């Protein structure tokens, strides 16, 4: 049993602008779930590139959690993917961006690619909280992009 979920939002902002904002992993804390308190710092300065790595610190289930985020796909302004790896697991995040009603449709696919055998069960038990966090992040992204 693997974990996989899709979250979507429509944003009234140009596709390239939304892509550039999401591709800048160091800004994910600005729109991520408030419960995560995530801060990410690029290991090297400059624009996002394939293979770019970020040190990310946040909260997971109320406890500090460090991870390394690595960009695995970058196809501006259509697709961004990265892996977030902590001591227990790897979660693959893939964003696709497409035109929609004068704005941008954003899809976020989240897949656990590595983790303890029991993680999918835990994620199923806490499905409501997980969905609240990811849907909240997508809503925050919409708010941020539409207010700037």
In this prediction the pTM is: 0.94
Q: How far apart are the first and last CA of the chain?
A: 41
Going from the C-alpha of 111 to that of each of 30, 64, 100, 120, 133, the distances in angstroms are 22, 22, 25, 10, 15
User: Which pLDDT score is estimated for 107?
Assistant: 98
pLDDT at 33: 87
Strand, helix or coil for residue 32? coil
**21: helix, strand or coil:** helix
Instruction: Choose between 11 and 128: higher pLDDT.
Output: 11
Residue found under tokens 């090297």: 44
Q: Note the pLDDT of residue 18.
A: 98
User: For residue 51, what are the domain limits?
Assistant: 4-147
Looking from the CA of 14 toward its CB, the CA atoms found within 13 Å total 6
Which is more confident, 78 or 118?
A: 78
Question: What total number of domains does the chain contain?
Answer: 1
Confidence of residue 143 (pLDDT cuts 50, 70, 90): very high
pLDDT tens for 17-65 read 999 999 999 999 999 988 889 999 999 999 999 999 999 999 887 889 9
134, containing H or E segment: helix 127-147
Strand-by-strand arrangement of the 90-100 sheet: 4-11, 103-114, 90-100, 79-85, 63-75, 53-60, 39-42
Can you give the length of the chain in residues? 148
pLDDT at site 13: 98
- Does residue 83 surpass a pLDDT of 70? yes
User: Residue 125's domain is classified under what CATH number?
Assistant: 3.30.530.20
């Amino acid at each position: 049993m693997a974990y996989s979920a899709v979250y979507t939002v429509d944003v009234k902002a140009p596709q390239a602008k939304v892509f550039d904002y999401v591709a800048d992993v160091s800004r994910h804390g600005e729109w991520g779930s408030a419960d995560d308190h995530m801060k990410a710092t690029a290991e090297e300065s400059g624009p996002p590139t394939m293979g770019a790595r970020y040190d990310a610190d946040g909260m997971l289930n109320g406890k500090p959690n460090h991870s390394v985020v690595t960009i695995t796909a970058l196809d501006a302004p259509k697709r961004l993917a990265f892996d977030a790896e902590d001591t227990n697991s790897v979660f693959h995040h893939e964003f696709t961006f497409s035109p929609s009603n004068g704005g941008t449709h954003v899809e976020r696919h989240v897949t656990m690619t590595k983790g303890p055998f029991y993680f999918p069960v835990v994620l199923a038990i806490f499905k409501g909280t997980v969905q609240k966090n990811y849907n909240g992040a997508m809503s925050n992204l919409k708010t941020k992009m539409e207010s700037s």
